[in-house]
Amino acid sequence: MQRQRLGRGLKALLGDFELSSFKYAELPLDSIEISDLQPRIEKKEGISDLVESVKRHGILQPVLVRKTSHGRYRLVAGERRFIAAKMANLKSIPVIVGEWDDKTAALVSLIENVQRKDLTPIEEALYYKRLRESFSLTQDEIAVIMGKSRSHIANIMRIANLPDRIQKAILSGIISLGHAKALLSLKDEDLMLRVFEDVVKNSLSVRDTEKLVKSLKSKGKEKLRELQIKGMPNVKVRIKEKGKKVKLSIECTREELKELLERLNA
């Protein structure tokens, strides 16, 4: 598959194959298995409305599957419809059978799921991370594939670097994506977790969290100054200030150090 075609989304991927390589079918549900390429984490969350719709109207849009080597079928896209059909006690489901390899199937699944906009930020971040690692795609290429800005892809992917506790809090809605972005600017994981606990305990808004993080970062910054000693132009004195502590660093010859010590003793 050529990368320049990826930006046209699912239609571009389907267009890489001859129309004759696809066929419409009605397959028994028990002949289809869910692929581990599916990005969704909370598979049954918010699915009750879809189940009721399936009971009344059936499956209106076919799911995408591919045939396995042992004669069964593996789901490529449409997992929520597949799960809803099972929960509605349907015996079969309409499908489009295509010939995809693992890499193409993963891309099709990603595009179909993310473009439906029902993935959580954590699910989106983890799937972009897998896409980058599995296909060696850059953030720019992922942005083109998904039709999103590079900054959106970069911000979402950074979520995957958060500690598990914070990821779970985002997933469960305890904190928002805005809180997560503020926490990500703290490089120290222990400090990040302490701030996270404060955010949850005190129900801090995103703006309050940003202010707290900013104040903590400013306290931790070192201030670096250079000092020139009168009469000793070649002596370099650097002063590092961090909080209430001050550190001096002196670069000089042995003779200059001797003179400097004599001045200090005087």
229 pLDDT higher than 90: no
Choosing from 33, 79, 112, 241, the catalytic residue is 79
Residues 43, 30: one domain? Answer: yes
Both 40 and 126 in a single domain? yes
Assess whether 251 carries a catalytic annotation.
no
Q: At which of 124, 153, 182 does a domain end?
A: 153
Copy the structure tokens of residue 162. 């958060």
Q: Is the same domain home to 17 and 138?
A: yes
Q: What is the b/e burial string over 200-218, where b = at least 16 CB atoms within 10 angstroms of the residue's CB? A: eeeebebeebbebbeeeee
Question: Is 44 in the same domain as 146?
Answer: yes
Give residue 7's pLDDT: 39
- Tell me what pLDDT residue 117 has: 55
Q: What is the mean pLDDT of the chain?
A: 79
Query: Per the structure block, which two tokens stand in for 159?
Result: 């979520």
Mark whether 210 and 243 lie in a shared domain.
no
Closest CA to 211 of 188, 179, 259: 179
Most confident range, picked from 34-38, 103-107, 142-146: 142-146
What is the band of 10 on the pLDDT scale with cuts at 50, 70, 90? very low
Per residue in 86-104, is it b (16+ CB within 10 Å) or e — as a string? ebbebeebbbbbbebeeeb
User: Highest-confidence range of 45-54, 61-70, 195-204, by mean pLDDT?
Assistant: 195-204
pLDDT at 50: 83
With a cut of 50, say whether residue 12 has pLDDT above it: no
167 and 76 both lie in a single domain: no
Please give the Cα distance from 216 to 55 (Å, whole number): 54
- Same domain as 145, residue 107: yes
Q: Measured between alpha carbons, how far is residue 249 from residues 67, 70, 238, 265 in Å?
A: 69, 71, 5, 18
* Exposed / middle / buried, residue 74 (Cβ in 10 Å: 0-12, 13-18, 19+): middle
Q: How far is CA 240 from the centre of its chain?
A: 37
What is the residue range of 149's domain?
A: 3-153
CA distance 62 to 129: 28
* Dist. CA 118–CA 124, nearest whole Å: 9
The answer on 39 and 127 residing in a single domain is: yes
Please report the pLDDT score of residue 77 as a whole number: 83
Average pLDDT over residues 227-242: 80
| Mean pLDDT in residue range 34-58 | 72
Q: How far apart are CA 165 and CA 179, in angstroms?
A: 13
Question: CA 196 to CA 166: how far, in whole Å?
Answer: 7
Torsion of CA 185, 187, 193, 194, to 10 degrees: -90
Same-domain pairing of 236 and 143: no
pLDDT at 145: 77
Calpha distance 145→140 (Å, rounded):
9
Whole-number Å distance between alpha carbons of 91 and 29? 6
Q: Which residues pair with 132 in a beta bridge?
A: none
Residue 19 has pLDDT above 60, yes or no: no
> Can you tell me the mean pLDDT for 224-240?
80
Q: Which range among 42-51, 117-126, 170-179, 205-214 shows the weakest confidence by mean pLDDT? A: 42-51
DSSP string spanning 103-121?
HHHHHHHHHHHHHTT-S-H
The verdict on 260 and 146 lying in the same domain is no
* Interval 67-122: pLDDT, tens: 887 888 988 888 888 999 999 999 999 998 887 777 777 777 777 766 665 677 78
Q: Which residue has the higher pLDDT, 147 or 149?
A: 149
Record the pTM. Answer: 0.50
Domain with residue 182: its CATH number is 1.10.10.2830
Domain count, the chain: 3
| pLDDT of 9 | 46
Q: What is the CATH number of the domain that holds 35?
A: 3.90.1530.10
Check pLDDT > 50 for residue 18: no
Question: Final residue of a domain: which of 153, 170, 192?
Answer: 153
Could you tell me if 12 and 116 lie in one domain?
yes
82 plus 124 within the same structural domain: yes
Structure tokens at 22: 């696809």
> Is it the case that residue 63 has pLDDT exceeding 50?
yes
Cα gap 128→123, rounded to integer Å: 9
